[in-house]
Amino acid sequence: MKLVLRWFPYGDDSVSLKHIRQIPGVSGVATHLTRIPVGDVWSMEEINLVKDEINSYGLEMEVIESLNIHEDIKKGLPSRDMYIDNYIESMRNLSKAGVKCICYNFMPVMDWYRSNLYKDLPDGSNSMAYSHSEAVKLTLEKITSSMIDGSNNFSLPGWEPERFGQMAEDIKFYQNVSPEDYFRNIKYFLDAIMPAAEELDINFAVHPDDPPFPLFNLPKVVNNKESINTYLSLNASNRNGLTLCTGSLGAGIENDVVDIAKTFTSEGKVHFVHLRNVKHTSDYDFYESSHLSSEGDLDMFAIVKALYDNGFDGYIRPDHGRMIWGEVGRPGYGLYDRALGAAYINGLWEAVSKLS
Ligand code: CS2
Ligand code: MN
């Protein structure tokens, strides 16, 4: 396994590569060329610019999170073929730059969402939280403005401002898209890109829907064991794999994340892991606790053991952290708590490997 940390280029991160380099065991970063509009080709020039900066700190750029999918592909519009061609060209360029794993998601309209980006915790820290009963009462405008206002002036992954104007119309569009139609659009995309993924030696790792509950009646795609199975069965290539995001899946109270980790790791389908913990305050409400098992609902030891025992050899990153020690940064993506998460993951990995 290789441990990485998420990092945003172009000065759009409060955390520096210099500091990431100092976290024990971290070999590289998972990054994203945020200044290229979704759907455009990631050119060699743009990729190398970011890669050279990362490499100059002794870190690798083997993981991309995310190479986002244009909404026309999700909607199954005729223009999707052009966007798929662009996507494959970006894959070719990324492979030339040594990228081995691409994380992406197939959530329609909106990427991840939290109803509170700064929930105060009793220890004086704060973290992101979600209340489904509150979220369903909100308008799209309230949702987008709360994300923009809470972003601390950093870009929020998956919330590209150029998409905001289109969201209301897209939500309407999906009201007439059945889950079967949506899965047909996914299959169309997967069948188009998997031959290139095979040829280029790139693993694809779909990120689960975050949170796993539907808003605005939009289709949910990857939110439990069954839907992961369906998604992975759409294209049989082993390149068609999963980002096991323990926090996203763990938000679904009925999900057995240890069992999901065992099942899909043993099938060779888990290429990337996001490790974080969640604490439920009700079946549909949760906040992001620190990584430690005892602070949340997930047994992080059992999850790491399931990965190790089933031969996991992909990438792991600590996922969102709390904001601690007065740090100010992009919600979920400060340095301190993610570094504590990395140290914890290193400890769990060493323990499971020495115990076996
Ligand atoms: C999520 C998403 O893991 C996360 O941080 O909040 O931003 C995730 O990166 C994307 O959905 C992956 O495509
Ligand atoms: Mn995640």
Strands in 89-224 per DSSP E: 101-104, 116-120, 126-131, 203-206
Confidence band, pLDDT 50/70/90 cuts, at residue 157: confident
Q: Are strands 203-206 and 126-131 parallel, antiparallel or unpaired?
A: unpaired
Ligand 2 centre to CA of 274 (Å) is 5
288 lines ligand 1 (CB under 6 A): no
112 lines ligand 1 (CB under 6 A): yes
Long-range CB pairs of 113-119, under 8 A, 24+ apart, other chains included:
113/143, 113/147, 113/210, 113/211, 113/215, 114/211, 114/331, 115/146, 116/287, 117/146, 117/147, 117/150, 117/151, 117/331, 117/332, 118/150, 118/323, 118/331, 119/287
Average pLDDT value for residue range 238-250: 98
Ligand 1 atom with the shortest distance to the CA of 274: 3
Cα–Cα distance between 320 and 331 in angstroms, integer? 8
The encoded tokens of residue 203 equal 């693993």
> How confident is the model over 80-136, as pLDDT tens digits?
999 999 999 999 999 999 999 999 999 999 899 999 999 999 999 999 999 999 999
Ligand 2 centre to CA of 80 (Å) is 26
Cα–Cα distance between 108 and 214 in angstroms, integer? 11
31 lines ligand 1 (CB under 6 A): no
318 lines ligand 1 (CB under 6 A): no
Tell me the CA distances in angstroms from 148 to 14, 100, 114, 288, 330, one per residue in order: 17, 32, 12, 20, 11
113 lines ligand 1 (CB under 6 A): no
* Sheet of strand 278-282, all strands in order from the earlier edge strand to the far edge: 116-120, 126-131, 285-288, 278-282
215: exposed, middle or buried (Cβ count in 10 Å: 0-12, 13-18, 19+): middle
- Ligand with the closest atom to the CA of 32: 1
64 lines ligand 1 (CB under 6 A): no
Indicate the top mutation candidate among 13, 63, 210, 223 to test ligand 1's pocket, ranked by most ligand atoms within 8 A of CB.
Answer: 210
223 lines ligand 1 (CB under 6 A): no
* CATH superfamily assigned to domain 2-355: Divalent-metal-dependent TIM barrel enzymes (3.20.20.150)
Cβ(290)–Cβ(217) under 8 Å? no
pLDDT at 356 over 90: no
Confidence band, pLDDT 50/70/90 cuts, at residue 162: confident
Q: What is the CA radius of gyration of the chain?
A: 19
- Ligand with the closest atom to the CA of 247: 2
211 lines ligand 1 (CB under 6 A): no
Cα–Cα distance between 325 and 308 in angstroms, integer? 32
Q: What is the pLDDT of residue 196?
A: 98
Confidence band, pLDDT 50/70/90 cuts, at residue 301: very high
Ligand 1 centre to CA of 331 (Å) is 12
65 lines ligand 1 (CB under 6 A): yes
Confidence band, pLDDT 50/70/90 cuts, at residue 309: very high
Burial 322-356 (b: 16+ CB within 10 A, else e): bbbeeeebbbbbbbbbbbbbbebbbebbeebeeee
Ligand 1 centre to CA of 207 (Å) is 7
The protein residue whose alpha carbon is closest to atom 13 in ligand 1 is 104
Q: Identify the DSSP state of 210.
A: S
The encoded tokens of residue 225 equal 């064991």
pLDDT at 209 over 90: yes
Confidence band, pLDDT 50/70/90 cuts, at residue 66: very high
235 lines ligand 1 (CB under 6 A): no
Cα–Cα distance between 171 and 141 in angstroms, integer? 13
